[in-house]
């Protein structure tokens, strides 16, 4: 799901993704992933984008409801880590296989 407010504002200012990325200090591909909602946008990045576009953060920032994965205990979107429950039987098998490798 794209961040429509960010995209619309960027285009209204006549800025390309390349220019936004350059001003934000990131690669164009990284900026594109953030704009498309593929990669998370941190609070400091929202503030940086707003400053670049010379608009209030509230004009471009959109909150997202992240669907909960029932097998997941915890999401840390700032670094893309996911913790999941593994059935004990499967965990034991994995440990045995790892022990053989060591």
* Spans of all domains in the chain: 4-60, 72-101
User: What fold does the segment set 4-60 form as a domain?
Assistant: 434 Repressor (Amino-terminal Domain) (1.10.260)
Q: What DSSP letter does each residue of 57-95 carry, written as one string?
A: HHHH----PPPPPTTEEEEETTTTEEEE---HHHHHHHH
Q: What is the pLDDT of residues 28-73, one digit of tens each?
A: 999 999 999 888 899 999 999 999 999 999 999 987 755 555 555 5
Q: What is the pLDDT of residues 13-30, one digit of tens each?
A: 999 999 999 999 999 999
Q: What DSSP letter does each residue of 6-70 carry, written as one string?
A: HHHHHHHTT--HHHHHHHHTS-HHHHHHHHTTSS---HHHHHHHHHHHTS-HHHH----PPPPPT
């Amino acid at each position: 799901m794209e961040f429509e407010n960010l995209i619309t504002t960027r285009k209204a200012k006549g800025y390309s993704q390349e220019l936004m990325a350059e001003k934000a200090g990131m690669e164009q591909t990284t900026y594109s992933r953030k704009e498309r909602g593929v990669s998370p946008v941190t609070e400091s990045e929202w503030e940086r984008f707003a400053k670049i576009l010379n608009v209030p953060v509230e004009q471009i920032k959109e909150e997202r409801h992240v669907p909960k994965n029932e097998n997941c205990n915890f999401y840390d979107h700032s670094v893309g880590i996911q913790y999941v429950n593994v059935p004990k039987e499967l965990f034991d098998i994995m440990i045995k296989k790892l022990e053989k490798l060591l």
